[in-house]
Amino acid sequence: MGQPVSKIRAAKLELYRKQGKIHAKAVSGRFNSLRWLCVGLTQIIFYGACWLNWPANGQLRQAVHFDIAHEKLYLFGLVLWPQDALLLALVLLIAATGLFLTTALAGRLFCGFLCPQTVYTSMFTWIEARVEGDHLARLQLDRGPLTLNKIVRKTLKHVLWAALAAWTAITFVGYFTPIRELLPTLADWQVGPWEAFWLIFYAAFTYVQAGLAREAVCQHMCPYSRFQGVMFDPATRSVAYDSKRGEPRSSQRRSSPAGDCIDCGICVEVCPTGIDIRDGLQYACINCGLCIDACDQVMTRIGAPTGLIRFASENELAAMPRQAWFRRPRVIAYAALLLVFAFLGGWTVSRHAELRFDVLRDRGVLARETADGQVENAYTLQVMNLTEEAQEFAVAVVGDGKLQIVGPNTVSAAPGSIAPLQVTVAAPAGALPAGTHALRFHVFSPAQPALHAEEASTFRMPEATGR
């Protein structure tokens, strides 16, 4: 006599959930397709963008290049310098608040579809399935004795994994050392020590994280899974099992009373992190939706409505009325922060210029009177040359001619550097009333009229002289 079906299913569940490595069953469906679409799009960008060139100064250069040696970041036509750190900080803040807002609205969508850990694990698992077979074949192979077939398949899998990890590392380093320069040095074993270190480190990192650690990263290492709950509210939609509809679960559907869950365990078999969504919201759930695909197929097969597992909020499952977004403090807070950071980012980009300068007044002596009856104020101009060539800049005072620069008024600045320029501004004593007067400095390149900038400052006319 064989075992009852329910016992076999329970044993099968243990097999997938507790013992050793998780070999998830492949499943087709809309969420699986969406996942692969995300893998395709992100990897076309990652593996492809380093090969794009961009015209600059009559030459082609790599369109996306983090030039650490020269402290520059090339993003197509944009060149960012360390002075643009604010813009980079804003981009990070926009990404973080965007992630928080998405999580508050729809749970861990990023984890399930865009997180590099998920994306690379999907790619590594795909290779594993091509070499070792479906999830049952892989389980059998893992548990079986060491045969020639096992050695060949395992070796081939690890070789392919290593090749993918190596190409990923080469691509990653190719964003820092132009990839067209990196590849010939690699072929000749002539890479520098830093490139060698990052190539080895990143290849090993990818191999271990996506090939060996896989779901353990999401379950035990990722801090985001631990604090995601803070962003949730009762209206947050995430992958959930409708226990009102599904329970009591029973493999004997005709038994009464019975919910729609036939306890087939397929939702657990397809889960890449090996959890049972019917146990409720869990930090290990990456919201990939594969259990939705699996359960929808089961429901269709038994003639029940789909959606026993679906994206639903706590309120929705409890049949409570929908909560409008403007009644959700977290959503409002994250959306407001996102808008503020996006506005600041746009403003910073609109002000991005290749020539900038700051004006510092001489704090020691606000104003001094000279023997020839002039009043002088001293300033230091910190002139930033954010072009890629050395520049000669000149400075003038904007105004009605009463204020004049005396002494040196030009400065040379190397590409991407800040050059200090000591400037003295003078006015005849009595030409202006005593007090503080607004003044504007105009810095420009005589050779390139398009390069110019203005900054405001003040000129101090002392009491005794102004009378």
Which chain residues interact with ligand SF4 by CB under 6 A? 239, 241, 246, 249, 261-267, 270-273, 275, 277-278, 285-291, 294-295, 298, 308-309
**Shortest CB 24 distance to ligand SF4, Å:** 8
**Shortest CB 234 distance to ligand SF4, Å:** 19
Residue 307 or 466: the one with the smaller Cβ distance to ligand SF4 is 307
Phi-psi region of 31 (alpha: psi -120 to 50; beta: other; left: phi over 0): alpha
**Shortest CB 38 distance to ligand SF4, Å:** 14
Residue 258 or 366: the one with the smaller Cβ distance to ligand SF4 is 258
Residue 99 or 266: the one with the smaller Cβ distance to ligand SF4 is 266
Cβ(87)–Cβ(386) under 8 Å? Answer: no
Residue 123 or 294: the one with the smaller Cβ distance to ligand SF4 is 294
Residue 199 or 217: the one with the smaller Cβ distance to ligand SF4 is 217
Residue 17 or 61: the one with the smaller Cβ distance to ligand SF4 is 17
**Shortest CB 291 distance to ligand SF4, Å:** 3
**Shortest CB 227 distance to ligand SF4, Å:** 18
* Distance set, CA 233 to CA 104, 329, 331, 337 (Å): 7, 9, 9, 18
**Shortest CB 119 distance to ligand SF4, Å:** 14
Residue 125 or 168: the one with the smaller Cβ distance to ligand SF4 is 125
**Shortest CB 272 distance to ligand SF4, Å:** 6
Residue 209 or 273: the one with the smaller Cβ distance to ligand SF4 is 273
**Shortest CB 247 distance to ligand SF4, Å:** 10
